[in-house]
Amino acid sequence: MIQVDNITKNYGRTRALRGVSFTINKGEIVGFLGPNGAGKTTTMKILTCYMPADTGTATVAGFDVFDNPLEVRKRIGYLAEGAPLYHDMPVVDFLKFVGQMRNIPSGRLRQRIGEVVLMTGLQKAVGKNIGELSKGYRQRVGLAQALLHEPDILILDEPTSGLDPNQIKEIRDLIREIGREKTVILSTHILPEVTATCDRAIIISDGRVVASGTPQELMNRGTGQSSVVVQVRGPKPEVESALAAISGVTAVESLESVNGAARFRVSAGQTKDLPEQVFKTVVAKNWVLTELRSEGATLEDVFAELTK
């Protein structure tokens, strides 16, 4: 549904995109990740025909964004960062206006407004001015206008930015529901957004794609370290010393004790048998082992490693 091939973009002397390439398939919800200034919004603007790339090509639903921008716009719904809306318009009038701009026939437009109001949970807000709504409801209005013309692809730029936890959950649930029928690309720098919502993630840093894969695949890349959390009933200094003496261990971090048992995070180079070595060490000392679990790399770890 989306094919981007080696696009570049400069703002004067600033190189915003440096040969970005990726593919998004039909029916995927894909998180477009990166720190502020990485090039996420610039890529969104190119895909939505808001601005052209300097070099490279991008196609959406088979249409080139430079050669066929009107055909591309027919097939995408776009929610820009901050949900830019007309705050002095009632919700229903705004949706009518958007539908007329999209040349939706009047009979179908009335029906479609009712459908997107139900889909986005705007029933209680439909008669109010947009400026009277909370930020969460304004995001819903932004999603409703993006869905109004029944696009094949949704492009959402920071859709949960500035929302409270309850509003974030509501918007995430809505995106997951929409993603059952649409292809969705979701630009964000909020990592829990990706693990909670997306099938796959593309990480961009300094204008380049540095990684792509499912959240689990990215976490499996690790950070070059494996670690376990261990809880032992035994003399704390001796336990810590014994753990530090295990071959390959690079760090032993003391954690808060629980019910008198000493807890530690033991880190080592990438090794599959670290839990086994810790277990054997504790048993050999006749200490009581009350907890032993592996800790994998988090998406935050991988993100920090790839974008630092």
Tens-digit pLDDT profile for residues 121-156: 899 999 899 999 998 899 999 999 999 999 999 999
Q: How far apart are CA 10 and CA 33, in angstroms?
A: 20
Last residue of a domain, one of 178, 203, 220: 220
**Is the separation of the CB atoms in 133 and 126 below 8 Å?**
no
- Look over the chain and give the mean of its residue pLDDT values, rounded to a whole number: 90
Share of the chain above pLDDT 90, in %: 63
In the three-class reduction of DSSP (H, G, I as helix; E, B as strand; rest coil), residue 63 is classed as strand
Whether 37 and 183 share a structural domain: yes
Last residue of a domain, one of 220, 252, 286: 220
What mean pLDDT do residues 198-202 have?
93
Q: How far apart are CA 84 and CA 79, in angstroms?
A: 8
Look at the block and give the residue holding tokens 């949706």: 95
Last residue of a domain, one of 187, 220, 253: 220
Q: Residue 21's closest CA among 53, 50, 58?
A: 58
Domain coverage including residue 183: 2-220
Give residues with Cβ within 8 angstroms of 137, minimum separation 6.
122, 125
How many CB atoms are closer than 10 A to CB 300?
12
Which pair of tokens denotes residue 126?
């439909």
pLDDT at 223 over 70: no
Tens-digit pLDDT profile for residues 240-273: 999 999 988 988 999 988 888 999 999 887 666 8
Whether 214 and 280 share a structural domain: no
| Residue 302 pLDDT grade (very low, low, confident, very high; cuts 50, 70, 90) | confident
This prediction has a pTM of 0.77
- Total domain count for the chain? 2
Whether 139 and 207 share a structural domain: yes
Give residues with Cβ within 8 angstroms of 84, minimum separation 6.
142
